Structure 1
Amino acid sequence: MKLNDLSSLMARREDGGLSYDRFRADPALASLHWPDDVLEQFLFDHGDNAAFVYDYGSIDLDEVRWRLETIQAADFVGMPTGASDAGCIESYAESPVHWVKVRRPEVGRHWEEHGTWLRPPVLIDRRLLDPSDSGLQVVEGRTRVGVLRGRLREGLHVASHQQAWVGHA
């Protein structure tokens, strides 16, 4: 199953008649066995975004297995995102304090107290896009990763290790 195979489900969600709870209960998604957090961030939030589909539409969704992993903060510094959003992580990194301030107050408190995000971002093994490639890529959480990069650059509190959902083949 690919993103385009979910177009009718996405259309129902887009019409506003499909809450996340009803969305995740759809039989087309049941076979994926994806964690709720990934299902919501990857499919519910972005599954019909044209740029997102361009970047990730070739992935066989049935083949992706997700794990919550601990990754060194420094590993996020050079991590890319999809081609359609090239440069956006660095634009967020230019003003990490601003991007935290425009979020809910608990986001800022969490960064200050724990040096990390409230919700783990979604990454994929780049071999899912190109078998000859390697490393990880940011699928969802570009603002969060940008804030982390900016905080590292500005010497603000960042935990040495971060949690992220990682999709592997």
Structure 2
Amino acid sequence: MTPTNNAGLHLADFSLDALQCSEKGYGFAEFRQLPKARQLRWPDDVLEQWVFDHAGHDPFLNDYGEIDLSGIDWQVETLPVEDFVAMPTGPSDGDAIECYEADPDHSIAVRKHGVHMGVKLCWETHGTWKRWPIVLDRDLINPGDQGLQLVEGRTRVGVLRGRMLRGQPIAERHLVWIGRPSKRSAT
């Protein structure tokens, strides 16, 4: 997919930058210093999980390519577990949550090295994830829509749903990054 011509910054505008930073070996540390990335003024965790990790991922480009990323403000919020039961993800990866839900213990067990160290411990101790998923106000995806949509964290939400279905301990509330329409763009 080629960069969009619409005003603002879009996911495809970062595809080549993310690839080059990954291939050079400097990774996210270099990517976050690029002028376009700094222009977003996003929390590093959101920038890394969504833009750096997925700018070249076709399903993400299909589902979120039209969104002006510069029109999103981010906050950490807590959501009750019930909100995740029916929360959709993008149509291109629409069945991903259910795949992880089917075997949550496996999804936890394979995440034990590098940045994933402590994932199992977080689930066992706190009944929640180690790293906060990325969620969008659906109005950003399709103006006029209400509710929230999971952008990144399909494994985490699948594990949550699977543990809930199996009667395994889970927290009543969970931290997430929520992107909402920017107040900067409204003025």
TM-score (norm. length: structure 2):
0.86
Task: Give the secondary structure class of the aligned counterpart of 1:166.
Answer: strand
Matched, 1:116 2:128: yes
1:12 alignment partner AA: Q
User: Any gaps of 5 or more consecutive residues in structure 1?
Assistant: none
User: Residue 138 of structure 2 corresponds to which residue in structure 1?
Assistant: 126
Deviations 1:41-97 (A, max 9, x none): 001111111111111101101000010100001110100100100111011101111
Q: Is the 8 A contact 2:18 2:53 kept in 1?
A: no
Contact 1:100 1:147 in 2 (8 A): yes
Distance 2:18 2:100 in 1: 28
Matched letter for residue 135 of structure 1:
G
- Residues 6-31 of structure 1 show CA distances to partners (whole Å, capped at 9, x for unaligned) of 23313413533442111000011111
For 1:113 and 1:123, locate their aligned partners in 2 and report how far apart those are by CA, in whole Å: 24
Distance 2:41 2:34 in 1: 12
Measured after TM superposition, the shift of residue 155 of structure 1 is: 0.7
Pair 1:93-2:101 in alignment: yes
2:147 to 135, 138, 155: 135
Please tell me whether the aligned partners of residues 123 and 139 of structure 1 are also in contact (alpha carbons under 8 angstroms).
yes
Query: Is residue 12–residue 18 contact of structure 1 (8 Å, CA) maintained in 2?
Result: no
Alignment of 1:1-169 (within 5 A): 1-104=9-112, 106-169=118-181
TM-score (norm 1): 0.95
Which of 1 and 2 has higher RCO (CA within 8 Å, sep 6+)? 1
Distance 1:101 1:74 in 2: 25
Aligned residue number for residue 4 of structure 2: none
**Alpha-carbon separation, structure 2, partners of 1:20 and 1:10:** 8
Q: Is the 8 A contact 2:22 2:28 kept in 1?
A: no
Q: Secondary structure at the match of 2:99?
A: helix
| TM superposition shift of 1:5 | 2.1
CA distance in 1, matches of 2:173, 2:63: 27
